[in-house]
């Protein structure tokens, strides 16, 4: 799967999202920079087929097919759209996602899923209290339980603090498993990740 956004923008005079081009594909993780409170969510909605850009082009495998994008791409933790409430527990999130995936969402099933994710100790913890990397791990792994999900768009994981390299490594692991991953983050996280990539190349 390959998703290409070509010079997409949104809002009067591009106020919600300035012209942005990015593409992401199966087996790789891509970083898109988006600052301000609203732009990461707008970009995430467009990149996952849940919002149409006012200008520019969006394709999935060469076609403009928003229905396919919505069914094949999971939007993760977008502020104001699909972020879990701060007081919802990891177990409650797991139960809801298992239900959406058409699987058993009883207590035993929830505990098994959390155990498989090494999150048993976080079962009763509010999502707001999870370390940023554990939050990303929980939400992404639950999203890919849904049939047909091949890609993930992760919105603003850096807004929760912590070391951006921790959640970046988690997303790299998802890409190694064949998923197409787009992370949308701010300049500081982008700088840290690019420094890591340069060091990886120079150390190869």
Q: Is residue 12 helix, strand or coil?
A: helix
Asked if the structure places residue 194 within a domain, the reply is: yes
Mean pLDDT, residues 121-130 taken together: 94
* Residues whose CB is less than 8 angstroms from the CB of residue 192 and which lie 6 or more positions away in sequence, other chains included: 163, 164, 165
Residue 17 placed within a domain: yes
Write the CATH number for 173.
3.40.50.300
Total of domains in the chain: 1
Q: 183 is in which domain, residue-wise?
A: 2-87+150-203
What angle in degrees, to the nearest 10, is found between the helix axes of 164-176 and 132-143? Answer: 20
pLDDT value at residue 202: 40
Q: Cβ(157)–Cβ(139) under 8 Å?
A: no
Does residue 36 fall inside a structural domain?
yes
Decide if 108 is inside a domain: no
In a domain, 55, yes or no: yes
Which DSSP string do the residues of 112-144 spell out, in sequence order?
HHHHHTT-GGGTTSBGGGS-HHHHHHHHHHHHT
Is residue 127 in some structural domain? no
Name beta bridge partners: 199.
none
Residue 82 maps to a domain: yes
For the residues 173-193, what does the mean pLDDT come to?
93
Question: Does residue 94 form part of some domain?
Answer: no
Q: Give me the pLDDT at residue 196, please.
A: 78
What is the pLDDT, as a whole number, of residue 187?
A: 86
Please write the tens of the pLDDT for every residue from 61-81.
999 999 999 999 999 999 989
Cβ contact 124:153 at 8 Å: no
Query: Which pLDDT band holds residue 200 (cuts at 50, 70, 90)?
Result: low
């Amino acid at each position: 799967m390959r998703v290409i956004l070509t010079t997409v923008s949104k809002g009067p005079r591009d106020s919600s999202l300035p012209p942005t081009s990015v593409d992401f594909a199966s087996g790789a993780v891509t970083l898109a920079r988006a600052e301000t409170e609203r732009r990461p969510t707008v970009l995430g909605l467009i990149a996952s087929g849940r919002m149409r850009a006012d200008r520019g082009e969006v394709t999935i495998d060469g076609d403009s097919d928003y229905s396919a994008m919505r069914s094949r791409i999971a939007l993760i933790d977008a502020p104001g759209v699909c972020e879990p409430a701060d007081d919802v527990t990891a177990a409650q999130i797991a139960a809801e996602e298992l239900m959406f995936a058409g699987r058993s969402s009883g207590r035993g099933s929830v505990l098994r899923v959390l155990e498989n994710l090494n999150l048993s100790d976080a079962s009763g913890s509010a999502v707001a209290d999870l370390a940023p990397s554990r939050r990303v791990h929980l939400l992404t792994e639950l999203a890919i339980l849904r049939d047909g999900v091949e890609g993930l768009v992760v919105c603003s994981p850096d807004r929760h603090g912590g070391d951006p390299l921790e959640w970046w490594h988690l997303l790299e692991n998802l890409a190694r498993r064949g998923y197409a991953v787009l992370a949308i983050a701010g300049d500081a996280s982008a700088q840290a990740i690019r420094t890591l990539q340069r060091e990886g190349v120079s150390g190869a």
